[in-house]
Homo-oligomer: A and B are copies of this chain.
Amino acid sequence: MSSTIKVLLAEDQSMVREALAALLGLEDDIEVVAQVARGDEVLAAAREHGVDVALLDIEMPGCTGIEAAAEVHRELPAVKLVVLTTFGRPGYLRSAMEAGADAFLVKDAPAAQLAEAVRKVLAGERVIDPTLAAAALAEGANPLTDREREVLRTAADGSTNAELARTLHLSQGTVRNYLSTAIQKLAVRNRAEAVRTAREKGWL
């Protein structure tokens, strides 16, 4: 092929983002043509710069890299999507794949895999850590209903039932019911553990 691969880099921590750009800049066939720090700037930047590959961190302000991936996949289906994350949570992998991601990398994988993944997705390959894929399959799908997840997410900061009821426009009893079923589904013993394990699995 003639020209270089045009890459968009989305990552909120500028030091990490620019460092990754420096890393990719060492490759002859790759060029970082756009950098954004927020999830909700990804689509516009991808469109504007006509990128070949978007490299998306999950944890970002605005919207998550997974939501951004879904947007780009819908609007610019030709753009290949590499999701990059700190946390190798099986639930993340699952959501990323459902959002149309072509590759899923964790940040503690060797740096060489980054450029490699970029080239592979452009060649039509999918890049997924096999161990993580196995874990995602083994753990099954998210058992929580939308409301349960929402209540759990809202409860994560330590809010009391009364506050949850108020913010979610529910009765206190209903809040307790949702938390109770969530606790049972996750096989834990209180809301704090429920938040913890739901987070770990990427179900929040």
Contact = CB atoms under 8 A, between A and B. Distances in A.
Contact of A111 (B14, B26, B110, B196): B14
Classify chain A: how many residues form its interface, as a range. Answer: 35 or more
A15 interface: yes
Interface stretch (A64-72, A90-98, A101-109, A126-134): A101-109
Contacts of A17: 111
A79 interface: no
20 contacts: A13-B86, A13-B107, A14-B108, A14-B110, A15-B20, A15-B105, A15-B106, A15-B107, A15-B108, A15-B109, A15-B110, A16-B19, A16-B107, A18-B110, A18-B111, A19-B23, A22-B25, A158-B192, A158-B193, A191-B192
